[in-house]
Amino acid sequence: MRVALFTETFLPKRDGIVTVICLLLDHLTQRGIETVLVAPTVDAELGDMITHYNGTEIIRVPGMVSFPLYKEIKISPPTHTTYDRLKHFNPDVAHFIHPVLIGGMGVLMAKRLGIPNLTSFHLDYSEMSRHFSLGPLKMGFLADAINHFTRVTFNMADYTLAPSKLVQRQLLSLGVERVGLWKRGVDAERFNPRFRSSAMRDELTDGHPQDTLLLYVGRLSNEKRVDQLRAVLEAVPGTRLALVGDGPARDSLKAHFDGLPVKFMGRMVGEPLSQAYASADIFTFASALETFGLVVVEAMAAGLPVVSSRVGGIPDVVEEGVTGYTFDIGDTAGLVEGVRRIVDDPARLERMGQAARAYAEAQSWPAMMDEVIEHYRRLIHANQLTRVFH
């Protein structure tokens, strides 16, 4: 089997979407499936713009302008050269990772070449537009146009995969016609309580390891509502907060948390990230925008109870009162109460952490990725039948 994938973001940029793409490429390679990836150019300041990843050739689309929501990504439509290289690769199926410009044009290329294809939904650009501005101009007015574009583009594909039941329902209500599920997994070896480190905990707590350590991992941007975690620090004695990640709101958050026990750790990867998860006590997540919330499952794999907004796929993975507590987006009182209930009962904290770990151990990435491969096979078979009868 030969699979062509198109994405609007890739290494050296790192985010949840890139993580899923790398895991998928790794799995396809392990299964003996040949792959090629069409991806944008990325700001060189983020690192080397690789041309191959674990045996997968990366076809870079020359960038012309910065993507408004992520300045480090340079976007432009695929060129005729892209089309020629795709045709030469001769894929059996094409997979579009949330098509916008590169993927949107890619869908048309696949149609012209008669390649069966599917899209997968990863980022709610419509909702995201409500949280961003270009100078004084609020971008929320674009929401309806983005929804229309999403409906048209995803319906051009043969099938669509959603990361959670909530997103699946949203896509169907939007008018996307053929929507299945591609649930997210977790690497329970990489994210594991065994990585707990007293040295890392000292660093995360700024030398106060006896305090209750709250952890946030993710992009520091407005839609993540990291600022709401201040209410917990002010209301629940003995709590400290470590923020792992970077983003455009970093400076404003530093001012917002000035004088409070908050440690900005910056972006972390590899074993230090595993240690950060395992060395904390509670994972706190107040985001207003998420399609799944991969970091939540990673925290659970590390043995942390979760207190999170009910956003994206979170209601699918957090069992109320068993592995954590959830609250409505913007409900700061619910956030505080969830943390307080865990902090006030050390036995509950330990019990929830064990339950979170047990849940995560059953959510393996290989099983989730094999489901995607089955979708590929089904689409290839359907395309072959269509050719026979036409």
Confidence category of residue 125, pLDDT binned at 50, 70, 90: confident
Rounded CA-CA distance 228/329 in Å is: 10
* Mean pLDDT to the nearest integer, 115-138: 82
Q: For residue 389, what pLDDT is reported?
A: 65
DSSP string for 245-273: ---TTHHHHHHHTTTSSEEEEE---HHHH
Report yes or no on whether pTM surpasses 0.85: no
Percent of the chain with pLDDT strictly greater than 70: 93
Q: Is 103 buried (19+), middle (13-18) or exposed (0-12) by CB count in 10 A?
A: buried
Rounded CA-CA distance 121/40 in Å is: 18
Rounded CA-CA distance 301/209 in Å is: 21
Give me the domains of the chain, ranges plus CATH numbers.
2-185+365-389 (3.40.50.2000), 193-361 (3.40.50.2000)
- Nearest to 91, CA basis, from 115, 122, 71, 60: 115
DSSP 8-state assignment for residue 186: B
Q: Is 48 helix (H, G, I), strand (E, B) or coil?
A: coil
Rounded CA-CA distance 161/154 in Å is: 10
Q: Which residues neighbour 14 within 8 Å (Cβ) at sequence distance 6 or greater? A: 267, 269
pLDDT in tens, 236-255: 999 999 999 999 999 999 99
Angstrom distances, CA of residue 323 to CA of 89, 98, 203, 285, 350: 46, 30, 26, 14, 10
Strands (E), the chain: 2-7, 34-42, 52-53, 56-61, 65-67, 70-75, 93-97, 117-120, 133-134, 137-138, 159-162, 179-181, 212-217, 239-244, 262-266, 282-285, 306-309, 324-327
Q: Are strands 93-97 and 306-309 parallel, antiparallel or unpaired?
A: unpaired
Q: What is the dihedral of CA 339, 264, 139, 293, to 10 degrees?
A: -50
**What is the chain's Cα-based Rg?**
21
pLDDT in tens, 68-121: 556 666 677 898 999 999 999 999 999 999 999 999 999 999 999 999 999 999
Residues in the chain: 390
Rounded CA-CA distance 177/298 in Å is: 31
Say if residue 40 is preceded by a cis peptide, omega within 30 of 0: no
Q: For residue 94, what pLDDT is reported?
A: 98
3-class secondary structure for 23-34? HHHHHHHHCCCE
More confident residue, 313 or 175: 175
Question: Which two tokens mark 85?
Answer: 């290289």
Q: For residue 14, what pLDDT is reported?
A: 83
Rounded CA-CA distance 151/145 in Å is: 10
More confident residue, 128 or 351: 351
CB 348 within 8 A of CB 248: no
Angstrom distances, CA of residue 289 to CA of 171, 223, 299: 15, 6, 18
